[in-house]
Amino acid sequence: MAGKKTTRATARKSMTDSYTVPGVKLEEGQDLAKELQSCLHNLNDLHLTLKHAHWNVVGPKFIGVHKMLDPQVDAVREMTDAVAERMATMGVPPVGTPGALVRDRDWDDYPIGLAQASEHLGALDIVYTRVIENHRRVIDLAGDVDPITEDILIGQTGEMEQYQWFVRAHLQDDEGTLSTSTATTEQEAAQQAMEGDRRID
């Protein structure tokens, strides 16, 4: 029986590289689908981070920011599903387990806990930048291989850029300058966002 299980497992494993979508070369389609795994990890991280911020935001801006984040969570979850299903359609099994996300990511865990709205918004701006930059990287790769995948990612990127604008609108002064313009980490952005609030107040 053990031998049969091994044979079946091997057969299933070899099936993962046996097809991709029609009109795309097998190797190119598979390679692109594997690049989509980075988008999947980033989106899974983003929707969990947005929900975490939704739960942990406090202060005078609480209700507006709390309510603003939930639709973003829902939309990003849908994006996650679309990317995972596109990977499967192209013949590569998507990996959505927490362990794989933690193992494969090249960024640190979101560091902000219970905090003022501005702190979370400053940090989320950095998170959105990371996710959008990775999507744009994969869009460039998809453009040479598969316009369908490219179209999916372009639509998602446009939506995320709008959500980042919603976040950034809270971080701007009346001259359009972001209070977090020099921040490179979530912690720096959170601190600069609070300092920006104090200057405006």
Contacts of 167 (CB under 8 A, 6+ apart): 121, 124, 125, 128
Take residue 73 and report the two structure tokens written for it.
């969570």
By the 10 Å C-beta count (0-12 exposed, 13-18 middle, 19+ buried), 109 is classed as: exposed
Closest by CA position to 39, among listed 154, 123, 187, 126: 154
Q: HSE of 20 in the Cβ direction (CA atoms, 13 Å)? A: 19
> Are 156 and 135 spatial neighbours (Cβ–Cβ below 8 Å)?
yes
Model pLDDT, residue 17: 60
Question: What single-letter DSSP state applies at residue 178?
Answer: B
User: Count of CB atoms within 10 A of residue 132's CB?
Assistant: 19
Model pLDDT, residue 186: 97
Take residue 45 and report the two structure tokens written for it.
């991280």
Per-residue pLDDT tens digits of the chain, which is 201 residues long: 444 444 444 444 545 568 999 999 999 999 999 999 999 999 999 999 999 999 999 999 999 999 999 999 999 999 999 999 999 999 999 999 999 999 999 999 999 999 999 999 999 999 999 999 999 999 999 998 999 999 999 999 999 999 999 999 999 988 889 999 999 999 999 999 999 888 765
Model pLDDT, residue 6: 44
Q: In the beta sheet, which residues pair with residue 58?
A: 116
Take residue 12 and report the two structure tokens written for it.
């299933």
Model pLDDT, residue 10: 42
pTM for this entry? 0.89
